[in-house]
Structure formats: structure tokens, C-alpha cells
Amino acid sequence: MKKWGVIICAIFLAMTTHAQHIEVCSTCTISTLKEAINNAQRFDTITVKPGTYKEHNIIVDKPLIIKGENYPVIDGELKGEVFTIVSDSVTVDGLFIINVGTSYTEDYAALRVKNSKYFVIQNLVLEKLFFGIYLEKSNYGKVYHNKIIGNAVEEYNSGNGIQLWYSNHIEIEHNYVERVRDGIYLEFSDNCLIKNNVSANNVRYGLHFMFSNTDTYQDNTFENNGAGVAVMFSKHIKMFNNTFKENWGTASYGMLLKEINDSEIIGNTFEENTIGINIEGSNRITYRNNDFVKNGWAIKVRGACYTNTFTENNFLYNSFDIAYNSKVNDNVFDKNYWSNYTGYDLNKDGIGDIPYRPVKLYSYIVNRTPETIILLRSMFIDIIDFSEKVSPVFTPDNLLDNNPQTKRITW
């Protein structure tokens, strides 16, 4: 409450102190941003007229609104960082920032917010960048509607699109990030909301999440990223209604969960990924109402996963529904729809009369000798899978969905 009070006070103060309006253009008296910032008073508005401004290391050290008209180009000339914001209550809006310097020792960003609060970064277009928007120990900010187009090819010499480091209470919405290393990267950042973003064609992860708790991400689309989305060492994460698509490759996942606890994964769509969700050491997670469509493996469980529940999900045409690498199972599968289910429903209650075994013997064989994937859908494989189904030897015999649905679940 106190924080919001401060914001309102600040706005009130800004309005009452007759905020100045400063214009920057190539023919104006003030022709550079740096000059404008130097001349500006706290809470002034700087309007940047269309044109190209070859500047870097622009330090914003007072509360200002920097607003571009018709996307003026701020060209960093590959010399280093372009904007560094070190003051609270800064708004940067409507700029086209290009040519951020690349360095192996420093993480140059198109725009960095450092130890500040109440910032708004919106409507930016970033191209030819190293890091895009870098939030460092900054809280209560908003990152809205930015477009970040990188040209990353290799992991080692590229940066992330939107990076949060020790930054809490940040809202990241409606951004579009492509061809950087990690589309959105969070480290030690709690209570963030990541919503309605699209992160595609990135070299590594569409979203990368480390040691960040109580965050929500919803309605995002992660498509064709080198390794999908990685969520690691975090708890109380809510993942709702996201789409994970076409993340293809050997170490590629729709979503990689590692050491994630007490989280909810609801209403997501995993479509045509090599592995829909790869789970390692993650406990007490609820998976509900997710669609797993045409993935190589819908879910791959790699051990040390306990008390997870998978209910009312749709498993549609995956090459493998579930893969396990151990014989022990402590997770619950119930009331899911499995398109590979071949049982019957004599009493017509919508629940198959015989349980479904989502783990096939063949998935063990492939796990052991990956080349055997070439025999997928062979009749011989069907025969050995069938015999395993009848009397499980290699697969956990309690890994069953006792109430397989006979119709696709809608919600």
C-alpha cells in the first residue's frame, strides 16, 4: 500500500510541478538524448522526434518519460550499452534501438534497469542486440508490448531477450521475442507475471526460469525454440494456458521441469515437441486439463518425481504417452483421455472399463538403445507391447489410469 502511495504522490508531484516538455530532433536546439536528459528536470517528458540518433551509454538518472515519435532510431553503433536506467519511475516508450555492442566480459543491453523501481518499458523495437531488456535488482516494473528481434546463431556469443535478475513484482506482457539466446530469462525473481508473450525461434530456451518462486506465466506461446522452456529450481509456479509448439531436437522439450515443487500446470497445450514435458526431481505438481498433441514423448519422467497428479488431460496421437526410467511409481494418473486407448466402455458411462497403461515396453527399449526408434509402429513392436501390457515385467505395474475417458475432455 505504501508503495502505491509513493507512486500516486510522485504522479501528483509531477503534475503539480509543471513538468517540462523537451523535444529532441536533429535540427532542434537539443539534438541528442544525452543533452536532453542533462537538461531535463525530474518528471519531465522528453519527446524524441523521428530520425537517427547515434548514441550509446545513455544514463537515465532521474524520473523521466522518454517517448519516441514514430519510432526514432537510437543507434548504439555496436559500441556498448544503449540505455541504462538508474532512477525510479522512468518510462521509456516507442523507440527503435539497434546495434547494441557485443562483449564477452560485459552483458551490454539495449536497455538496462538497475536498482530502480516503478519503471515502464513499452513499445520498444530492438534489433541487432546482445541483451535486450535487462532488469537488474529492480522491482515493481512493467515491460509491455516490446518487439525483440535478435540474430543469434550460437549460444556463446548471444544474449537474452528479456532478462530479470533479482527483480521482483515485474509484469511482462505482450512482448514478442525471437532469435536471441533465451527469449525470457528469470533468475532469483519472485512474484512476476509473464503473460501473453510470444517467444519463438530462440537459440536456447523460449523461457528460462531459475530460482524464482511464486511466479505466474500464462497465455504465452513458445514455439520452435532450440530447447523449449526450462523451469528449474523453483516453487509455487503457476503455468496456465500456455502453448508449447514444435520444439524439436535431441535435447529439446516443450517444457523442462527440474527441481520444481508445489506448482500447477493447467490448461496448456503441448504440440509436436520432441518431448512435451521432461520432468526431473519435481514433486507435488498438479497437471490438469492440458493437451498433449502429436509429441514424440508427451511426458518423460526421469526419476525422483513424487506425488504428482495428472488428471483430466488429453493425450492425443503422441508417439509415446509416458516414458519412465524406473519401475517405481508414486504419481497418480486419473481420468485422462488417451487416444491410444483401445479398451471399451460397455456401461456407456464415458469411462473405459479396463485401465490404460500409458507406459509401453518399447519406450524402455528406446531409452536403452535409442536407434531402435526406427522400429516405431512396427508390428513386432506392437506384439511385444501387447505382451507387456498383459503381464507387466519392465514397466511399473501400478502405473495405470483406472478411469480412462472414452471421449476427448473439454473444459
Partner 1 sequence: MLKILKYSFFDLIRSRWSYVYFAFYLLLGVVLLFLNNDLSKAVITLMNVIIVLVPLIGTIFGVMYYYNSKEFTELLLAQPLKRSSIFLGQYLGVAMSLSMSLILGLGIPFVFYGLFKSNAIWDFSLLLITGTFLTFIFTALAFNIALSNDNKIKGFGYAILLWLLLAIIYDGVFLMSLIFFEDYPLDKLSLIGTMLNPIDLSRTLILLKLDISALLGYTGAIFKQFFGTSFGLIISFIMLIIWVILPVMRIMFKSRKKDF
Interacting residues with partner 1 (CB under 8 A): 248-250, 252, 272-275, 294-297, 316-317, 319-320, 339, 365, 368-383
Q: At closest approach, how far in Å is the CB of 258 from partner 1?
A: 18
H/E element holding 7? helix 2-16
Nearer to partner 1, 43 or 320 (CB): 320
Nearer to partner 1, 118 or 244 (CB): 244
Q: At closest approach, how far in Å is the CB of 407 from partner 1?
A: 10
Nearer to partner 1, 296 or 404 (CB): 296
Q: At closest approach, how far in Å is the CB of 360 from partner 1?
A: 12
Nearer to partner 1, 309 or 340 (CB): 340
Nearer to partner 1, 234 or 247 (CB): 247
Nearer to partner 1, 136 or 321 (CB): 321
Q: At closest approach, how far in Å is the CB of 339 from partner 1?
A: 6
b/e map of 180-212 (b: 16 or more CB within 10 Å)?
A: bbbbbbbbebbbbbbbbbbbbbbbbbbbbbbeb
Query: Burial of 408 by CB count in 10 Å (0-12 exposed, 13-18 middle, 19+ buried)?
Result: exposed
| CB neighbour list of residue 17: distance below 8 Å, 6 or more residues apart | 41, 42, 43
How far apart are the C-alpha atoms of 191 and 169, rounded to whole Å?
5
Task: Output the 3-class SS for 185-210.
Answer: EEECCCCCEEECCEEECCCCCCEEEE
How far apart are the C-alpha atoms of 75 and 283, rounded to whole Å?
47
Nearer to partner 1, 2 or 368 (CB): 368
Cβ(235)–Cβ(258) under 8 Å?
Answer: no
How far apart are the C-alpha atoms of 391 and 393, rounded to whole Å?
6
Q: At closest approach, how far in Å is the CB of 400 from partner 1?
A: 22
H and E: helices and strands count for the chain:
4, 39
Torsion sign over Cα 154, 158, 160, 165 = positive
Q: At closest approach, how far in Å is the CB of 304 from partner 1?
A: 21
Q: At closest approach, how far in Å is the CB of 355 from partner 1?
A: 20
Nearer to partner 1, 328 or 373 (CB): 373
Q: At closest approach, how far in Å is the CB of 44 from partner 1?
A: 54
Q: At closest approach, how far in Å is the CB of 176 from partner 1?
A: 25
Please choose, from the candidates 133, 139, 118, the residue with its C-alpha nearest in 3D space to the C-alpha of residue 6. Answer: 118
How far apart are the C-alpha atoms of 52 and 49, rounded to whole Å?
9
How far apart are the C-alpha atoms of 212 and 234, rounded to whole Å?
5
Nearer to partner 1, 57 or 339 (CB): 339
